[in-house]
Amino acid sequence: MFTPARILCALLVLSSLGVRAADDLDKTIERIFGEKKEFEPKTFGPAKWLEDGASYTTLEKSAASKSGKDIVRYEAASGKREILVTAAQLTPAGADAKPLTIEDYAWSKDGRWLLVFTNAQKVWRQKTRGDYWVLERTGGKLRQLGGKAPAATLMFAKFSPDSSRVAYVQANNLYVENVKTGSVKALTSDGSKTVINGTADWVNEEELAIRDGFLWSDDSRSLAYWQFDTAGVRDYTLLKTTGSLYPEATSFPYPKVGTPNSAVRVGVVSATGGRTRWMDLPGDQRDRYIARVSWVKGTSELVLHQLNRLQNQLDVYLGDARTGKVSPLFHDADRAWVSVREPARWSNDGRTLLILSERDGWQQIYAVSRADRVARRITPQPADTLSIVGSDAKDEWVYHLASPDNATQRYLYRTRLDGSGTTERITPAQLPGTHSYVASPGSAYAFHTYSTFDRPPVTDLVRLPSHEIVRPLEDNRGLHDKVAALARPTEFFSVDAGDGVRLDGWMIKPKDFDARQTYPVVVYIYGETASATVTDAWAAGRTLFHWALADAGYIVLSMDNRGTPAPKGRDWRKVIYGEVNVLATREQTTALKNLLRERPYLDGSRVGVWGHSGGGSNTLNLLFRSPDTYHVGISLAPVTDQLLYDTIYQERYVGLPAQNAEGYKKGSPITFAEGLRGKLLLIHGAADDNVHFQNTERLINRLVELQKPFDLMVYPNGSHAITEGKGYNVHRYQLMARYFRTNLPAGGRPIAASQ
């Protein structure tokens, strides 16, 4: 018989168990995201293949220095080791001097000079600004580049092919410095707050990955470079409020959809200075994008990839560096958009351009002849080529990544360049997961890195095309043991999403899972075009967090709807054109409902969802548009109104707002805010340069207007990643775990009791 005292005692015991479980979860999150970086994988390198294609260099801890590293050369075949540069050689003069911290390095082509990048500072997402030092290996002289330039202001320094000079960007101007004498020559002088030479404005860096914006010609006589004129692009202002007595404002040109872009052009300037010769590309400079530029091997010609404003037409031109005249080489078009991801790659001594196109329904490699301007498909159908890795020394084979049979994995293939369609899988069948390769010149060897969902990355040196392992380079053995203690079995599955479409997904169950009970569900979502979540690859802290949630009594799952960049063909990826996130909401909801019917241990009355950026937007869409299915949501850094995002990304997928106002409205979560019935936590960084805090502020106003309750966490000075502040990562994940535990009760319940 249960007396009131016994009931109270039982409740106290259960309460204490809940507190202990919450404490355990917090401690696990501290281990995952804390300052000790207990689960951070080791990486090999930075390693550099040398020109001979048979040896490489890497960094190793110096035996003679407490903090420095030596640069060591290895012969690929034999493993013969030689220290090329010691930490002592990379120590500037001075009594208190320490060896340079090597962020990156590069060799001159003749091997006599070493360039070291150090004191790196973040410019938006990446550390691309810092100091450069050059070391003459024979004489041992170490010298800092840049003349009288302020500290940490040089960008993208690189040797000329003849090894005599280094070019770099400083304060939006392009410079060349003689490695022997230190004499500096300014090649541009018009760089300013609005004129950017040799690098990119915010939106082109973010969306087209243009950062290093200049290139040496093969003969070392000229440099080609991008110039962006941001005059006319409205500034967006970020406020950092906690570092000083008064807020610090940072303003930068950010073109929101439908507004003017920077004017962009590409020019060629002599390495000794003088007038720039601009390439005479057609079209309005503000309504086009020059996505890629490269030199044609051994010539004075450039190849330029130009997109129109709608990004549904790509024109590749050959440009004469001497006259500026251009002629068409290749044209691609799509009723949705044309993707430009790869740099130009040449084969056959610069006579054939290799380019990716989806014109036949799959992303495949085409060989474009400079002589007759005809494009011939190299890879056979039906399968997507994800990227080109390299070509063999005889230009008979092209190596590329693909996964024809499993969209969650990535493998290396090679295909004959003669167009015969002969294709071979190189990655052994017994190695599942996701594989990446950095091939040597001539592709005789490669650094091979692979991982699976529950296995941290391993890097080894392989011989191609046999894929024979020459030697392990980084096995992360210690991390594997730590991960194994936390790992939970992960099931990859396929589920019906309606209209004959099946979605790939993964599912993590609690360690004490009992199929006779029903468990709350936490859905992790991204769902947009920039990324897939259902990949058989190590996702580091995110995977560990999901394992920790599973241990706390949740079933965690994720699914990739159409529109995500899975290798399932052009139609899979581009069906969403004109209405981003509308199809994602429908397919995610339908798929989850089908899972709930198929698997009685999934509790349809306890469903949560979370996501970041595009996943934050889709979290809102699911809560607002499918409130009967999703009950608790955590939305991080969401685009709440697509009119607030940048030109390149949003217009690529939705078009111009003046031509598709309805598409922008349908895809924006704020349109459907009145549908909110569940619990919502909004999280945003106040200094987010990418998805502006303005998005969350507008949604706040709308939810207040509708008298909808919600919760909010703002991280002062936080960027889009929300990782800058001390403890931000730990706090954010502990907050998310606490929000789910508070509003989505954890643990199994007898199935009969939950029905």
**Full DSSP string of 320-347:** ETTT--EEEEEEEE-SS-----SPPEEE
Looking at residue 14, its pLDDT comes to 38
Please say if the pLDDT value at position 6 is more than 50. no
pLDDT recorded at residue 17: 44
Q: Are residues 548 and 437 in the same domain?
A: no
Decide if 717 is inside a domain: yes
Domain assignment present for 9: no
Domain containing residue 420: CATH number? 2.120.10.30
CATH number at residue 299: 2.140.10.30
Residues 405 and 436 in one domain: yes
pLDDT category at 18 given cuts 50, 70, 90 is low
123 versus 564: the higher-pLDDT residue is 564
Asked whether the beta carbons of 558 and 533 are under 8 A apart, the reply is yes
- Same-domain check for residues 555 and 602: yes
CATH number for the domain that contains residue 532: 3.40.50.1820
Position 19 confidence tier, pLDDT thresholds 50, 70, 90: low
At 124 the pLDDT is: 87
Give me the residue label for tokens 């997109």.
307
Statement to judge: residues 441 and 562 lie in one domain? no
Q: What residues pair up with 450 in beta bridges, in sequence order?
A: 435, 458
pLDDT at 342: 83
Asked which of 92-106, 107-121, 171-185, 604-618 is least confident by mean pLDDT, the reply is: 92-106
115 vs 22: which has the higher pLDDT: 115
pLDDT at 64: 87
One domain for residues 732 and 614: yes
Q: Are residues 416 and 484 in the same domain?
A: no
**Domain assignment of residue 91, given as a range:** 45-186
Inter-residue contact 618 to 526 (CB < 8 Å): yes
pLDDT on residue 349: 86
In this structure, is residue 242 part of a structural domain? Answer: yes
CATH of the domain at 106: 2.40.128
pLDDT of residue 541: 94
Residue after which a domain boundary falls, among 456, 475, 494: 475
The model's pLDDT over 573-603, given as tens digits with 9 standing for 90+, comes to 999 999 999 999 999 999 999 999 999 999 9
Report the DSSP pairing between strands 517-524 and 602-612. Answer: parallel
pLDDT of amino acid 95: 62
- Could you tell me if residue 89 is inside a domain? yes
Domain count of the fold of the chain = 4
Segment 185-190 mean pLDDT? 98
Q: Is the pLDDT of residue 754 over 80?
A: no
- Average of per-residue pLDDT across 535-552: 96
Question: pLDDT tens-digit profile of 324-362?
Answer: 999 999 999 999 999 998 888 888 888 999 999 999 999
Can you read off the two tokens belonging to residue 187? 């090649």
Residue 12 reports pLDDT greater than 50: no
Give the confidence band of 11 by pLDDT, cuts at 50, 70, 90. very low
Q: Specify if 280 maps to a domain.
A: yes
Examine the domain organization and report whether 54 and 175 are in the same domain.
yes
Q: Return all residues near 350 (Cβ < 8 A) that are at least 6 apart.
A: 296, 297, 298, 299, 370
pLDDT of 37 strictly over 70: yes
Do residues 706 and 658 lie in contact, with contact meaning Cβ atoms separated by under 8 Å?
no
Q: Average of pLDDT values for 284-310?
A: 96
- 753 phi and psi, to 5 degrees? -70, -25
| Three-state secondary structure readout of 388-421 | EEEECCCCCEEEEEECCCCCCCEEEEEEECCCCC
609 band by pLDDT with thresholds 50, 70 and 90: very high
The answer to whether position 431 is within a domain reads: yes
At 676, the pLDDT band (50, 70, 90 cuts) reads: very high
- The average pLDDT across 92-112 equals 91
Do the Cβ atoms of 726 and 715 come closer than 8 Å?
Answer: no
Query: pLDDT per residue over 442-451, tens digit each?
Result: 999 999 999 9
Same domain, 516 and 599: yes
What are 197's strand-pairing partners? 227
Q: Looking at the domain assignment, is residue 7 inside a domain?
A: no
Residue 243's pLDDT band (cuts 50, 70, 90): confident
198 exposed, middle or buried (CB, 10 Å; 0-12, 13-18, 19+)?
A: buried
Inter-residue contact 675 to 710 (CB < 8 Å): no
Termini Cα distance of the chain:
27
230 and 245, same domain (yes or no): yes
pLDDT (mean) for 605-618: 98
| Residue written as token pair 């039982």 | 10
CA distances to 53, 115, 151, 647, 736 from 674, in Å: 61, 58, 52, 28, 24
Chain-wide mean pLDDT for the chain? 94
487 and 579 assigned to the same domain: yes
Of 475, 494, 516, the position where a domain reaches its end is 475
Choosing from 422, 445, 475, the residue where a domain stops is: 475
Which are the contacts of 650, defined by CB distance < 8 A and separation ≥ 6? 257, 580, 642, 664
Average pLDDT over residues 541-554: 97
Query: How large a percentage of the chain has pLDDT more than 90?
Result: 89
* Same domain, yes or no: 609 and 642: yes
The DSSP 8-state label assigned to residue 711 in this structure reads E
Pair (146, 199) in one structural domain: no
Q: Report the pLDDT value the prediction gives residue 20, as an integer from 0 to 100.
A: 60
Q: Is residue 300 part of a domain?
A: yes
Q: Mean pLDDT throughout 376-385? A: 92
Query: Can you tell me which residue has the tokens 């799509």?
Result: 334
In degrees and rounded to multiples of 5, residue 547 shows phi and psi of -60, -40
